[in-house]
A and B are shown apart, each in its own frame.
Chain A
Amino acid sequence: MNDSSFNQREFIRKIRLRKRTVLFFQCAILVLFFALWQFCADMGIIDSFIFSSPKEILFCAYSMIFTNSLIFHTFVTSAETVAGFLISTLLGTGIAVILWQSSFLNEIFQPYLVVLNSVPKTALAPIIIVWVGNNINSIIVVALLTSVVVSILNILSAFNETDKNMIKLIYTLGGNKKDVLFKVVLPANIPAVMNTLKVNTGLSFIGTIIGEMLVAKYGLGYLIIYGSQIFRLDMVMMSVIILAILSTVLYKGIVILENKIVSKVM
Chain B
Amino acid sequence: MEYVFKAENISFSYYTLQGEQNVLKDISFGIKQGEFVSIAGPSGCGKSTMLSIMAGLIKPQNGKTKTKDGLKTGYMLQQDYLFEWRSVFSNALLGAEIKGTITEETKEYAKSLFEKYGLTEFMYKKPSALSGGMRQRAALIRTLVPKPDILLLDEPFSALDYQNRLNVSREISSIIKKENKTAVMVTHDISEAISVSDRVIVFSKIPAVIKNEFEIDMPYDSLRRDNPKFTKYFNEIWKELQ
Q: Mark A residues whose CB is within 8 Å of B.
A: 163, 165-166, 168-175, 179, 183-184, 187-188, 190, 265-266
Contact = CB atoms under 8 A, between A and B. Distances in A.
27 contacts: A165-B77, A165-B81, A170-B94, A170-B98, A172-B57, A172-B74, A172-B75, A172-B77, A173-B75, A173-B94, A173-B95, A173-B98, A173-B99, A174-B95, A174-B98, A174-B99, A174-B146, A179-B98, A183-B83, A183-B94, A183-B98, A184-B83, A187-B83, A187-B85, A190-B85, A265-B85, A266-B84
Contacts of A265: 85
Contact of B55 (A170, A172, A190): A172
A163 B77 CA distance: 13
Interface in B30-44: none
Given A172-B55, A172-B57, A173-B146, A166 B95 contact: no
A226 to B, nearest CB: 48
Contacts of A175: 98
B79 interface: yes
Contacts of B57: 168, 171-172
Most chain B beta-carbon contacts within 10 A, residue among A165, A169, A171, A187? A169
Interface of B: 55, 57, 74-75, 77-79, 81, 83-85, 94-95, 97-99, 146
Across the A-B interface, the 5 shortest Cβ-Cβ residue pairs: A172-B75, A173-B95, A175-B98, A265-B85, A187-B85
B83 A165 contact: no
Contacts of A188: 83, 85
B55 to A, nearest CB: 6
Contacts of A170: 94, 98
Contacts of A172: 55, 57, 74-75, 77
Nearest to A264: B85
Most chain B beta-carbon contacts within 10 A, residue among A166, A170, A172, A179? A172
A175 B98 CA distance: 6
Given A172-B74, A174-B95, A179-B98, 17 more contacts: A165-B77, A165-B78, A166-B83, A169-B77, A169-B94, A170-B98, A171-B57, A172-B57, A172-B75, A173-B75, A173-B95, A173-B99, A174-B99, A174-B146, A183-B97, A187-B83, A266-B84
B107 to A, nearest CB: 17
Given A265-B85, A266-B85, A165 B79 contact: yes
A168 B83 contact: no
A169 B74 CA distance: 10
A163 B84 CA distance: 13
A165 B77 CA distance: 8
